[in-house]
A and B are shown apart, each in its own frame.
Chain A
Amino acid sequence: MTRLFVALAATACALVLLLSYRTPRIRHDPQVVHAAAAPSSTNQVEVVAGAVEGWSYGHLQLRVTLTGRRITDVSMAQFATTNPMSRRRSSAALKRLRSEVLSQQRADVDMVSGATYTSTAYLHSLQAALDAARWHR
């Protein structure tokens, strides 16, 4: 069990280090705060990596779930933001956003960014409608 715990701790630390690679302002505390075998599964272990502090947008703590030696889940154990604008936006904001653009559908855009469409789907896409509108003018 001790060897397993060390292996898990190393994995969790590696994840925190990987995260800090992109954002060097992170001061990470690579200790494992919590590691426990989930009672429902024989081989599944959940690891919560140490608190990450000093990040420009707040505090971040990762929860890593391993099944055997494989990472089966990575999620946020904690995400506390210091910037009020970085929080999850409400559905009310989305409704307002949508109503604002409703009045300017199609006619006022040059192109559309969206999930990649296939050649066939393009024929029914907003981008094709825009291209066709130009063609017929």
Chain B
Amino acid sequence: MAPVTVRDARDAGLRTWVEHVMGTAISISVAGAVARRGGAGAGVDEAVAAAFGGLRRADAVFSPFQADSQISRLRDGRTTPDRCDPEVREILALCETLRRDSFGYFDAYAAGPGQLDPCGVVKGWAAERAAATLRAAGIARHAVNAGGDVCLGAAPAPGRPWRVGVADPHRPGRLLTVVCGADLAVATSGTAERGAHVLDPHRRTAAAELASVTVIGPSLTLADAYATAALAMGGLATAWLPGLDGYEALLVDAAGEVWWTDAFPLD
């Protein structure tokens, strides 16, 4: 699908690009002087194109749904970690660290022995890398939304933070709250869009106790993985999440009850 360029004249001069990668829509927003066409804005289209290029390459390497991706070949025993890209070994090591940190609830092998699926960490990791590509190109004021997982760069304008709505899992199209911030990741895992798709690796059944988990903190890779692990944990997550240094969480259970950690920034 061709990229769609959108503009926002309200404030901060946002420009947003949308492309469909990794089975979802990824929006990149850029604000400030570099967002303006010509002059200081020269090169922004190229930088955004490079960021999307990195996301597509990550999909080609890591997708368990593409028969020839390195992950599919690893799963089928057609290759070994040593023969894969360094990024593959990085992700495998990260999956193992997350598995230990979540006492087994984040599990890239949740579907069964040998059924490698690192999707729970790759999307956040790839979005964070896309944000790094923008930052390296001098675009500090940016935000990447990878299918509902958001990586915020510097604020769109001084004194004007990014405003991220948190979707209400029980009322489609409505928001539960708004998180304001910059240089922050906001990740949500839930059952609203794709049903109960996260597996509880201990029971090998779909996790359905919680409707959604939103985790905020410095790294989108970790925030996304923590949200996925917490969704698999169910109510046990209320004991695990407060111990994560630098990360705050908001939970909504299947019955609509909410719970949040002490420093979660509610309006």
Query: Which residues of A are at the interface with B, using a C-beta cutoff of 8 A?
Result: 15, 18-19, 21-23, 55-57, 60, 71-76, 79, 83, 85-86, 88-91, 93-94, 97-98, 100-102, 104-105, 108-119, 121-122, 125-128, 131-135, 137
Contacts and interface: CB of A to CB of B under 8 A. Distances in A.
Interface in B135-149: 143, 145, 147-149
B61 to A, nearest CB: 19
B256 interface: yes
B198 to A, nearest CB: 10
Contacts of A102: 174
B264 to A, nearest CB: 10
A68 to B, nearest CB: 13
B25 A127 contact: yes
Contacts of B5: 135
Nearest to A137: B9
B166 A114 contact: yes
Contact of B202 (A71, A117, A122, A127): A71
Contacts of A133: 8
B158 interface: no
A85 B261 CA distance: 8
A22 B163 CA distance: 31
Contacts of A97: 176-177, 258, 266
Given A89-B260, A101-B176, A115-B188, A110 B14 contact: yes
Given A111-B150, A114-B166, A22 B101 contact: yes
B123 A113 contact: no
A34 B86 CA distance: 47
B259 interface: yes
A101 B175 contact: yes
Nearest to A52: B239
Contact of B243 (A22, A101, A113, A132): A22
22 contacts: A19-B103, A22-B240, A23-B243, A79-B239, A88-B257, A89-B257, A89-B258, A93-B258, A94-B257, A101-B175, A104-B175, A108-B163, A109-B165, A110-B163, A112-B148, A113-B165, A114-B193, A116-B24, A116-B147, A119-B20, A126-B165, A131-B16
B18 to A, nearest CB: 6
Contacts of A74: 202, 236
A18 to B, nearest CB: 4
B33 interface: no
A6 to B, nearest CB: 21
B165 A111 contact: yes
A8 B14 CA distance: 57
Nearest to A83: B262
Contacts of A89: 257-260
B244 to A, nearest CB: 7
Which of B16, B24, B148, B186 gathers most chain A CB within 10 Å?
Answer: B148
Given A89-B260, A91-B256, A114 B27 contact: no
A100 B169 CA distance: 17
B70 interface: no
A19 B229 CA distance: 13
A125 B203 CA distance: 32
